[in-house]
Structure 1
Amino acid sequence: MATAQQQQSDPEVPVSTMPYPPLHTDKRFVVLSDWDGTITTRDSNDFMTDTLGYGPEKRRQGNLEILAGRETFRDEFRRMLQSVSANGHTFEQCKEALKQNIALDPGFKDFYSWCKANDVPVVIISSGMAPLIRAVLENLVGPEDAAAIEIVANDAVVQPDGRWEIAYRHPSSGFGHDKSQAILPYRALPDPPTIFFFGDGVSDMSAARHADVLFVKKKPGADNDLAAYCTREGIPHLLFEDFHRALGVVRRVVAGELSVRDALALGTA
């Protein structure tokens, strides 16, 4: 029987149950970014699990099982979210709790403004649920900018009584949402753009090997699971603390002042 690690890295292309937005085939550079704990300062699903579900200790143990390859992200993440719903918290209650408690990375608004001004698309690639992300994003950046940012994520099934569960984009994948599938189609283009990918945790492991420039968020006192995974697997990456610092590197690569190889060689943004 295949291990959870093997299931998560299965080379077979998983079938998506949801459509993807069109590729930005006419762009030279594209930013793809995780949402929870990367664009935001705190992971919203961790917040729900810790405060409304079965708590931080059990959640952390689940993440360690994923890192060790003994559990798939898909199955462990489902258990996390089930603990929130089982405690009687409706989807709308969760949405309101996140809007009140989730904050934006202090540099993201400036980063996004620069990308918009320089024709660099920004796409959110998340293992969370699109309705929650959209609600929090609108709350943090306003409806106009939020509507312009594409979101590739999972969805939710909400019952009339308020109970809910996650609906995975790639239910056959051990990741639930295999984020590599947002990058690999760009790789297959005759003239592919340079892909910047931003992430922080175990849900980003499937994408880590495929970006041109991988930014891994470093958070003091946090778990930093993607950094641990990339170090263990020898995957070149740049550590960054906020999007202000990342912007300096992205700006230089887009301007042709820094090659992809030299950017990765910096080690830290």
Structure 2
Amino acid sequence: MSDDAPKSTLPYPPVHKDKKFVVLSDWDGTITTYDSNDYMTDNLGYGKDKRRQGNKDILSGKLTFRDAFREMLESVSANGHSFEECKQILKDNIKLDPGFRDFFKYCKAQDIPVIIVSSGMEPLIRAVISNLIGDDAKDIEIISNHVDIHADGTWSIKYRHPSSGYGHDKSQAILPYRQLDDPPLLFFFGDGVSDMSAAKHADVLFVKEKENGENDLAAYCTNEGIKHVLFDDFSTALPAVRSIVEGTKTAEDWFSAGRA
């Protein structure tokens, strides 16, 4: 970490040294088909319309992600939904990207670490991913925020980087790899406003395109001139990653193509 990096309230796992490739991925709406925090907010909190306005305000600079996201989650807790109730609701409703299981199997076979870098809360992510992929979930590291459960039963997000406008500045999970003498090639997968801080630091950025039109990360990358590759799901991303790992194509080939 650099001296000006935001102080983390939670420990980081060791950096994977001596790896040729590392995959880092957002969780909600990227590895899953629906963002679990959006699901809670839309169905248990203050609703979709206010949530979408919050995302637009983040993109325009009117709100920080940290503050808008906290308000989203507070609306769920304020409506009387306990953390354990939310955990079960998400286990019942959140689905895995249809191509992720095969993608993860390929990465394991190639000795490529897969790390979830999320603005969500680790207990929810761990519960849902264990429900979706079983024992394989233990092989996936999670770098995320946490949760504070209060004496009255309400709960609130515990940010990894409370001094950062992102709450969890995802770039801080990437930058330590840049300090290695022989850094790996870094793939990053994301979809939304929480991924903006990480977007420019990946070697190969994959941006998930959404049928519902909530393509906030794609809009940000286009506006900022950040090279990226659009993908529909991990079944389309896998051939692109495989071609780079196996040397049949380069990242620039895929940036030129624009889509996996």
**Letter aligned with residue 107 of structure 2:** C
Residue of structure 2 in register with 1:5 after alignment? none
**Quick one: distance in 1 between partners of 2:76 and 2:125?**
17
Residue of structure 2 in register with 1:172 after alignment? 163
Does the 8 Å CA contact 1:74/1:175 hold for their aligned counterparts? yes
* 1:5-25 alpha-carbon deviations (Å, 9 max, x no partner): xxxxxx931111111111111
Identify unmatched segments of 5+ residues in structure 1: 1-10
**Deviation (angstroms), 1:268:** 0.1
**Quick one: distance in 1 between partners of 2:151 and 2:193?**
32
1:192 aligns with 2:214: no
TM-score by length of 2: 0.98
**Quick one: distance in 1 between partners of 2:101 and 2:153?**
34
Query: Which residue among 223, 230, 254 is the counterpart of 1:239?
Result: 230
**Deviation (angstroms), 1:222:** 3.2
Residue of structure 2 in register with 1:133 after alignment? 125
**Quick one: distance in 2 between partners of 1:237 and 1:107?**
20
1:207 partner SS: helix
**Quick one: distance in 2 between partners of 1:258 and 1:25?**
24
1:17 partner SS: coil
Residue of structure 2 in register with 1:6 after alignment? none
Residue of structure 2 in register with 1:74 after alignment? 66
Query: Which residue among 101, 111, 117 is the counterpart of 1:109?
Result: 101
Does the 8 Å CA contact 1:253/1:263 hold for their aligned counterparts? no
**Deviation (angstroms), 1:262:** 1.9
**Deviation (angstroms), 1:106:** 0.2
**Quick one: distance in 2 between partners of 1:135 and 1:162?**
19
**Quick one: distance in 1 between partners of 2:40 and 2:212?**
19
1:127 partner SS: strand
1:215 aligns with 2:197: no
Aligned residues: 258
Percent sequence identity is 67
Residue of structure 2 in register with 1:21 after alignment? 13
* 1:104-156 alpha-carbon deviations (Å, 9 max, x no partner): 000000000010011111000000000000000000000x2111100000000
Residue of structure 2 in register with 1:60 after alignment? 52
**Quick one: distance in 1 between partners of 2:233 and 2:222?**
20
**Quick one: distance in 2 between partners of 1:257 and 1:194?**
15
Identify unmatched segments of 5+ residues in structure 2: none
Does the 8 Å CA contact 1:41/1:102 hold for their aligned counterparts? yes
Aligned alpha-carbon RMSD (Å):
1.0
**Quick one: distance in 2 between partners of 1:53 and 1:260?**
40
Query: Which residue among 153, 173, 182 is the counterpart of 1:162?
Result: 153
Residue of structure 1 in register with 2:75 after alignment? 83
**Letter aligned with residue 44 of structure 1:** S
1:248 aligns with 2:235: no
2:197 partner SS: coil
